[in-house]
Structure 1
Amino acid sequence: MARRIARKSEKFKDFLHRVEGIDPSAEGSELFILDQESRELDEIAHGFRHSSLKTQLQQDSHLELYRSWAKVALCPSEADDIDKVCFPSPSPSTDGDPFKRLASHLRRFLVYALRKCVPRSNQDDCISYRVLVHYRRSMSFWVVRKYRERGIEPPSSSWIQGKMTEIMRLLQKHVQIRSHRATQLNRSRVGTWELMMMMDFDLRETPCIELTECHHLAWVIGRVAAVRPGSLAMAKHQGNRHLPYLVWGDLDIQRTDIEGMFYVKMTIRNLKTNSVDPEQEVDNKTLVLSLHSPKGPLTFELSAPHRILTIALRRGVLSGINTIDELFRGQEKNIIIKDEFKDKPVLLKGAPRGMSVKENEPMPSGALTDYLKLRGTKTGLTESITFYSIRRNTAQHLLSKVGADTTRAIMAHDPDSIVMEKYYTVDRTMLPDLTSLAIDDAAGGDANNRPLDGSLAFSRLNKEQMRRVSPMLNVLFRELREIDDEYPHDGDSKAQRNRDRVLRRAALQSVMKDLADEQRRRITIDESNMMARDLQSLGGEFNRRVLDQAKQYTTIGPDESTDEGDRALSTVGIDLECEFPEDEDVSIEEDAEDQFQDQIDRGEEVDAYPDELSDATVDIGNDLSKMDYATAARAAMEVWLAVGTEESQFGTKQKQGSMVICPLCRDDDTVDAETKAKLWVPSKLPRHMDGDFHSGLKKFIRRAQNTAREEGLRGPRCEICVAIAPSSITIPWHSSIKTLLAHVKSSTATKLVPGEAKIDEWWADREDKAQLCAAHDQVKRDLGWYDADFRGSLKHKAKSRAETDDYRNKRLATLSPAYSFANYTQLERPIPIGGGLQLGSTPGWINNRPGIVLGPIPGSGESSTTSMEESAVSKALKAAGDKVTFTPVDQLQPPSLPERYRPYVTMGHIPTNSSIEEKLSERKGKGKGN
């Protein structure tokens, strides 16, 4: 459609004068088309639900529950028109209430809901009063709607709410339900210290810098401007909004008078993500924020403009700017964004496991909290944090700096709203020094005097505590599983996995609480002061790298220090799907003399403590402060752009897991373009290449599917039949891959089998049928159908089965001690027992894996000794010495099994010593040396 130059010239009044006198029923006329459209929309508008999508989903869910309850409690047998049962027609009543039955149904339904609905908090026995309010609101809507659909005048909304409120207030007094759920709201706050600590950790361990820099940018914008996650990323229930996330067109980037310092004007178009009401959006359409570069070089990690420009350079967003030199040396005031990027999201969605990003797909708003929460756990934060923790801390900070009115405007709250005071700044009463204010002490009373001890970074777990987390979690999880009455021991694997997640989450919360309490009990004043100095110094690893990079531009030379600071945490993640990983590295560090022995032998001077004793050790903060601003800014952006490369110390996981393309997929004509371009982690690629994806069978299947897709067939066709059949014959297609494989597998050199009953046997009436069968079998042989590894590598399959069996045995061993194997010492060498047989490992093969001992050999006690000569087995076992213990037969006890396993285990008879002799005699009689 051509672009409109000006607004419409014809007004509504002019249009009515122009069409006056025209018959609206005249087909093809402009008036007829408009009249038909108005009638259709009028019909559709009847009963149109204009509430938000979230409200509609809740209403639908409550109606479905009400219908299901009515089928059970009101009419189990008749369910033809369930709405008439749920919303009965009015009937005469002695008390003059025609909707008495309806009121009874709704009240009884609320009692059922109170007793059987699962509360969100595990500390509550039933749902809260607020949840009942939601049920009342939904049922009030459906009562009015359902009666009007049937042409019946519904009861008034006040009558409905009054009847349901009566039972709700009675339940509150009778059952003593809570007004709100018992769980305390998350009041955690994440500030500068926590963000910089998590950024340093994340840069070291990230496998994908493109995804990491998106999250870091969101953290910085949240810390600076207190924005909601739904204003930056794609929130749920957006309705029909246009671009409901931050796009490049929302950013206006400008240069300043100082080289390397930039200014960004950011427009937030999505302020209240839970409302799509156009009448409400008029009050609060957009919010324009100013993002400035930091004045000093110590906090470049919190510079939103530099992070935005770094992402723009990496993606090629800027017009005429492709390098940092072009960005810094340019003289144009405005930095232009390419037109093709203006509607593309700034924050991109991550691929599974965070190994890459999905181009042009916006990041979900929930991913911001999930990513932040996981990084907080990995860095040792003891409280659960969300993206709103950043917004809450920023609101508290802005309130003390610019006042309540400006803070409320920045947070996009209405001027007369008290949401900020109710949910975001509830801790403001803790800030003033009330004692100093009361006694008029001039040295105190500062409202901004928040103690640093209140920072989550200050109370994080140390390295030793983090090492103990996983073992403690695994032990506690197993104990909880054994005593859990709701664990589905006899259920399917899906039900067990779901319950395992619940138990692991409970174990995680309990362990983190215990460790946090231990940290508070044991921390000393000296440790507290030291941690405070470390946080205030801002001497993070990122600033170390910025200093090293900046020195290259000032000809100072690279820093030779190898001290990277005290890395407080390991990279252990929290995955509720599997066992918590435990640190098994118990290697002992070498002695200092051994570490420097080569230098001592060469007569060189040994510098054992370069960082502590060298005069070249510098104060990072002072050196960065003395740097030219442009040099420091350039260095910071160079560090970000180099993450994951060989030159960078950041992104170790990205370098170790550099994504590669499968060479077999690249050379396979049957593989589609998307699969060929798929990037693999090097550690995972061998398993893919050795698997059955590139086997001859899978290639045969893909060729059949590709051919059917290209030729527009309804099913796959046998390529072998196509190759051997005359050109005049049309080869029929099969209904599925299964029947095609059955046809090829069952066909031999003497016969052809159709594979399914309805397929046309094109070879049946031909005179050269024998030759066709032979040719079919020959082509089948050439394609590798008779090869041993046609369906996949046998070695790989054996390895996979062994891994599966090993994993299954480990799982069984954790269920009960009855499945655990004995920990006896393995025999050092095989012991001959006669008849060419040996007890133990194969001769000449050293088996380092622990052997499986099924139990003590029965019949070795004195009570079971026979008059026969000592057997060869007894001699061999006696030669083993104390490595094997014996138990008399009469003292042997069956293994103790849990009650739930006993129906599945059958205990056999206990063999005697004589039965073992008989078996050995039979083997001797068959011939020696076998």
Structure 2
Amino acid sequence: MAATFPRRRTLFEEINHISSAADNEYVLDLMKELNDLNDEAVGFRWAAVSTQIDQDRVLFNYEAFLLFIKQITEGQSEAEKSAVMFPADFKLLFLRIRLFILYAAPRMRGRARGTPCTYQSLTKIRSGLSFHANRSYRLRDIEAPRAALLYNNITEVLRFAVHKFNIPLYGDLNSTHVGLPEISQMIDLDMQQTRCFIVAEMHHLAWCMGRTCAVRPGSLGHNPKDKTSIQAGRFLMVVKTNSQDAEQASKAAKPSRPIKCRVMSPNITDNLVFSVPHRLLIIALRRGAIAGIETLDDLLNGDRLNIQWKPSFLDQPILLGSTPRGLDVSQKPASAASLTEYLRERGRHMGYERTITFYSIRRRIATDLTELVGPDHARRILGHSAQSKTLEHFYVDDAPITDISAMALGEVVDKKMMAQTRRLHDLSTTALGATEVRAIYGGVLNEAVAAFIEADTNAPELGSHTEWKNYRRRVSKIVFASLLRVRSEELQEGMTREEAVARVGNSKSGLMRAALDQCATAPAEDTMDVEPPAMLADGGFERDFVESPHEPDIEVLASEGVITRLTDEPGDTIDHDQHEIPYNVCVRAFMQLLLQFPEATPQLSHGGSLPMSVLPLAITARPRHNNELVCRECMEDEDIDTEHRTRTWKCMAHLQRHRNSDFHSLRNKFLRRLQAEHGPGSDPWSCPFCVALQHKRAADYPSAAMVLRHVKKSSVHVWGEEHEKLKTEAGYSDKWKQNTNCGAKASVRYDRKKRAEGFADRMAVLESYGILYSEDAELEVSRPTSYEHVLAGGPPQHIDAANVEGVTSIQEVLMNIDMGGVDDFLRDCLHDDPSPPNLPDALLQAMGLEPA
């Protein structure tokens, strides 16, 4: 029997249901629930998360300012602070807000380093204070000032601050554009320099998605504010990510719908490097996320209409983040900020004259779409509303695509010439290159940083190690950006048109061109060209072999009657520009290249192996770990097992700790060699020196430790000179327990540190009494110091304090030390009275004093 569902009741019927079927207890529970919801709704903030953060930041700074001018005291409750920050006296409210703005306006800084604050940033103070003022009065049930009155008072002081402190209205907007040539350059460079290709391919896919779909970084990466990220189940990506206000949506003529884009494969083989579907499938194959498909051959040779994801991968993010230093991929989604930071670093390594962001890709595709399909269609693809002018104000760059001279003079606009002129000024054409950028690092950058720090009056003179480290890091970034800018200006000043044209040609994708060249020039495997097996001694063959029919080596052309002899000479090299390569061959080559790139030599089905040396920029698969942090001594020691020999250390500190241990001491090397010769099943143990000499006193030992004891205790009187000679050749000595690289174990370093601290304490005690010791060797001739009447080095001189002005006798020096921190020797020598110290007679005589 089919299940029946009741009709959904209207709101009026629900209300009647309360009065007809509800008892008093139900009504009380309902009212309690509604009252709780009402209390929760009081003070609800419906603005976007980013807006709330800006509002709270303004409130925090306003509270700190009032605390600084003693209007608020520490320890007050939130209600008391609200009464001071937003008092019932509106004149006092306006005065405090105006003073805060006048203090903050000249001291605020822009988002970029070294830029001033703008009027656009100051307006956030107005919006934040207006919101919190109205909210505070409403929560305290106090009549709030009229919105227009509060707005005008804040605007008045803002306008005055702009005029008084010369505050600009807008900042220097980042208008950089990143197109296909720049993406191609950065992909090739990243494949050369990346420490983990699996991490790099995530960002390459994000760049191609940003170019193909014109998405924001927040549409691809994880956003901590709204907890979203692109997942495998969302193959049709939602482009519009900006949240829409509920009130604006209710007043709109039609609701805003999400924009979806269907991503197709490129039609041109040279554009396969930017293919989103192929890169996405490679990532899916690497993770094993496709149902029923495990290898690339299964994918390319299959006849399925649709490719299905495994259900367990539908909720997993496509773009994953990386572990620290980018050594491996993590299981957490990549953040939107990491996508921009990764792209910015690759642009800096490429030597672009300006800083690029992920929005640089979006600005370039917005300009290209506007030129191709018009601003209205481009606005829809970008996810902007029809009435918005954001596309024209912040995205489209009209200058490179508009020949205003031809239009003004009535000439025909040559779009091809405009495109060529634009390419001459792209970032890919004016880039310094990775080689030039690497030349800036090292001595050039270090000298510039040292000169900057020496001339900087704001350098922390007495800062801690952490403060100096952070200060040098900031200085290094500033100096590097300056050097990069100077080199870029020199390059553009001396660049000729021929060099620019050559740079335009070199900026095309070298990776795909190399793969096509390999596929075109490598001959296909001939299954008939098989060497016959070798004949055995009894007349048979190594395996079953069927002799093929004999083929003549001449061919008669019936049309011309000419006999031609067939030779084994190879023909001319195939030129892929004249002979078109099949599309499926290029796809297989490209996907195999990406799938097997982490290996040393990827294998291509069509043309055999593809050596990495044929790729541009000498692309090689770099190790996933930092600088191959392996111990060379372990790799060269044959007696160490494979696990320890090939171990990769996490960081340099861990490797140094291993090298400072006694793992590579001569004693442990002898012990490992002894264990390797002993074998796992042989028993008992024996001394290798006694065995080699066939000593008459040779004996068996129950363990390796007993063999070491025998080697240590043996002497020349009992075991002979030959036995001692073999011991010495094996490395035995009094120090054979120490490591060979002159390091020290952690326990030894700890003891040295404690002894050094004790020595420093004793030196501090003696220094408090005027007894100073130098760490340098004694000088033959004394030299003056920065202290009056004080000489460094030379023969000892007795100074009479009574005859020298400004010198205090040691008898008059008060002891200013803590007796609790003094060792036993000095505690016996010192006491707390101001009389001369009770020091030994020899020490008093060396100081020029009479013994007591």
TM-score (norm 1): 0.60
Q: Give runs of aligned pairs for residues 600-615 of structure 1, distance below 5 A.
A: none
Aligned to 1:290, the other structure's residue is in SS state: coil
Amino acid at match of 2:623: Q
How far off its partner does 1:59 sit?
1.6
Which residue pairs with 1:622 in the alignment?
577
Supply the distance in 2 between the matched residues of 1:51 and 1:553 (Cα, whole angstroms): 64
Q: Which amino acid aligns with 2:45?
A: R
Question: 1:168 and 1:454, CA in 2 relative to 1: closer, same or farther beyond 3 A?
Answer: same
Report the 3-state secondary structure (helix = DSSP H, G, I; strand = E; otherwise coil) of the residue aligned with 2:37. Answer: helix
Q: Which range moved further: 415-424 or 642-651?
A: 642-651
Matched to 1:474, the amino acid is N
User: Is residue 376 from structure 1 mapped to residue 347 from structure 2 by the alignment?
Assistant: yes
- Asked whether 1:223 is paired with 2:211, we answer yes
Query: Contact conserved, 1:207 with 1:651, CA < 8 A, in 2?
Result: no
| 2-structure distance, mates of 1:906, 1:353 | 56
**Match among 496, 504, 507 for residue 532 of structure 1:** 504
Q: Which residue number corresponds to residue 147 of structure 2?
A: 157
Equivalent residue for 2:127?
Answer: 137
5 Å-filtered alignment, 1:785-864, equals 795-797=744-746, 858-859=779-780
Match of 1:112 among 91, 96, 103: 103
Instruction: Flag the structure with larger Rg.
Output: 2
**Is residue 444 of structure 1 aligned with residue 411 of structure 2?**
no
Query: Structure 1 residue 247 and structure 2 residue 243: aligned?
Result: no
The count of residues paired between Structure 1 and Structure 2 equals: 619
Instruction: Provide the secondary structure at the position in 1 that maps to 2:169.
Output: coil
User: Per the alignment, in what secondary structure is the counterpart of residue 385 of structure 2?
Assistant: coil
Q: Secondary structure at the match of 2:430?
A: coil
Instruction: Give me the CA root mean square deviation.
Output: 4.0
Cα gap change, 1:417 to 1:203, in 2 (>3 Å): same
Which of 55, 63, 70 is 1:67 aligned to? Answer: 63
Counterpart position of 1:349: 321
Deviation readout 1:855-878 (Å, 9 max, x if unpaired): 99954xxxxxxxxxxxxxxxxxxx
Cα separation, partners in 2 of 1:139 and 1:200, compared to 1, 3 Å: same
Q: CA deviation at 1:448?
A: 4.8
For 1:686 and 1:615, how far apart are their aligned partners in 2? 55
Alpha-carbon displacement from aligned partner over 1:99-155 (angstroms, at most 9, x marks no partner): 21111111111111123334445555x532222211111111121122222221111
Confirm or deny: 8 A CA contact 2:400 2:422 kept in the other structure.
no
User: In structure 1, what is the Cα distance between the partners aligned to 2:415 and 2:195?
Assistant: 47
Pick one of 189, 193, 202 that aligns with 1:214.
202
Q: Secondary structure at the match of 2:428?
A: coil
Change beyond 3 A, Cα 1:661–1:233: farther
Aligned equivalents of 1:342 and 1:661: distance in 2?
Answer: 39
Please say if residues 659 and 682 of structure 1, whose CA atoms lie closer than 8 Å, have aligned partners that are also in contact: no
SS of the equivalent of 2:45 reads coil
- Kindly provide the amino acid, as one letter, of the partner of residue 622 in structure 1: D
Tell me which residue corresponds to 1:89: 88
State whether residues 646 and 655 of structure 1, in contact with CA within 8 Å, keep that contact through their aligned partners in structure 2.
no
Residue from 391, 406, 429 that aligns with 2:399: 429
Q: Is the 8 A contact 2:259 2:383 kept in 1?
A: yes
Change in 2 beyond 3 A, CA 1:58/1:693: farther
8 Å contact kept, 2:351–2:432: yes
Change beyond 3 A, Cα 1:270–1:439: closer
Q: Show the counterpart of 2:622.
A: 653
CA deviation after TM superposition for structure 1 residue 342, in Å: 1.1
SS of residue in 2 equivalent to 1:349: strand
Distance 1:448 1:462, change over 3 A: closer
Check whether the contact 2:600–2:620 (CA below 8 A) recurs between aligned residues: no
Q: Aligned residue for 1:175? A: 165
Deviations 1:814-853 (A, max 9, x none): xxxxxxxxxxxxxxxxxxxxxxxxxxxxxxxxxxxxxxxx
Structural mapping, 1:410-559, within 5 Å: 410-425=381-396, 427-442=397-412, 444=414, 448=419, 450-462=421-433, 465-470=436-441, 471-536=443-508, 538=509, 540-548=510-518, 554-555=524-525
Matches within 5 A, 1:642-791: 642-648=596-602, 649=612, 650-654=619-623, 686-687=655-656
Equivalent residue for 1:46?
A: 42
SS state at 1:457 partner: helix
Q: CA deviation at 1:65?
A: 1.7
Q: How far is the alpha carbon of 1:546 from its aligned partner? A: 4.9
Change (3 A) 1:515 1:176: same
SS in 2 for 1:545: helix
What's the secondary structure of 1:335's corresponding residue? coil
2:237 aligned residue: 267
Instruction: Describe the SS at the equivalent of 1:458.
Output: helix
Partners of 1:693 and 1:16 lie apart in 2 by: 83
Q: 2:310 — aligned with what?
A: 338
- After superposition, give the CA deviation of every residue in 1:674-702 in whole Å (9 maximum; x if it has no partner): xxxx98559786446568999xxxxxxxx
The Cα offsets for residues 260-305 of structure 1, whole Å up to 9 and x where unpaired, read as: xxxxxx2216521x66869659943422112111112222111111
What CA distance in whole angstroms lies between the structure 1 residues aligned with 2:249 and 2:449?
Answer: 49
CA 1:911/1:87 → structure 2, altered by over 3 Å: closer, same or farther?
same
CA distance in 1, matches of 2:595, 2:225: 35
Superposition deviation, residue 794 in structure 1: 7.2
Equivalence for 1:233: 221
What letter corresponds to residue 89 of structure 1 in structure 2?
Answer: A
Distance 1:541 1:912, change over 3 A: farther
Partner AA of 1:221 in structure 2: M
User: Does residue 364 of the first structure (1) align with residue 313 of the second (2)?
Assistant: no
Shift of 1:393: 0.9
- CA distance in 1 between counterparts of 2:245 and 2:752 reads 52
Gap change, CA 1:535 and 1:910, over 3 Å in 2: same
Give the 3 Å change call, closer, same or farther, for CA 615–116 of structure 1 in structure 2: farther
Residue of structure 1 in register with 2:356 after alignment: 385
- The answer (yes or no) to whether the contact 1:382–1:512 under 8 Å persists in 2 is yes
Q: 1:358 to 1:549 in 2, by over 3 A?
A: farther
User: Does the 8 Å CA contact 1:267/1:286 hold for their aligned counterparts?
Assistant: no
Alpha-carbon offset, residue 231 of structure 1: 0.6
Structure 2 Cα separation of the partners of residues 506 and 657 of structure 1: 26
Q: Is the 8 A contact 1:436 1:443 kept in 2?
A: yes
Distance across 1 between alignment mates of 2:504 and 2:446? 33
Secondary structure at 2:623 match in 1: helix
Partners of 1:62 and 1:138 within 8 A in 2: yes
How far apart, CA to CA, are the structure 1 residues paired with 2:789 and 2:431? 52
What SS is found at the alignment partner of 2:263? strand
Residue 156 of structure 1: how far off its partner (Å): 1.1
- Quick one: distance in 2 between partners of 1:532 and 1:803? 62
Contact 2:423/2:504, CA 8 A, preserved across alignment: yes
Output the amino acid matched with 2:232.
Answer: W
Counterpart Cα distance in 1 of 2:316 and 2:4: 26
Secondary structure of 2:330's match?
Answer: strand
The CA distance in 1 between the partners of 2:88 and 2:661, in whole Å, is: 64
Q: Can you list the C-alpha shifts for 1:396-422, whole angstroms capped at 9, x where unaligned?
A: 111111111111111111112110110
C-alpha deviation, 1:390, in angstroms: 0.8
User: Would the alpha carbon gap of residues 329 and 78 (structure 1) be closer, same or farther in structure 2, given more than 3 Å must change?
Assistant: closer
AA partner of residue 103 (structure 1)? F
Contact 1:52 1:275 in 2 (8 A): no
Deviation at residue 23 of structure 1 after TM alignment? 4.5
Q: Distance in 1 between matches of 2:460 and 2:486?
A: 28
Alpha-carbon distance in 2 for matches of 1:803, 1:477: 35
Q: Distance between the aligned counterparts of 1:799 and 1:546, measured in 2?
A: 60
2:93 is the counterpart of 1:102: yes
Q: After TM superposition, give the deviation of residue 228 of structure 1 in Å.
A: 0.5
Q: Deviations over 1:312-359 (max 9, x none)?
A: 111111111111111112222111111111111110011111111112
Amino acid at match of 2:125: Y
State the percentage of identical aligned residues.
25
Please state whether the residue corresponding to 1:358 is helix, strand or coil: strand
Aligned to 2:550: none
Q: Which residue in 1 is equivalent to 2:368?
A: 397
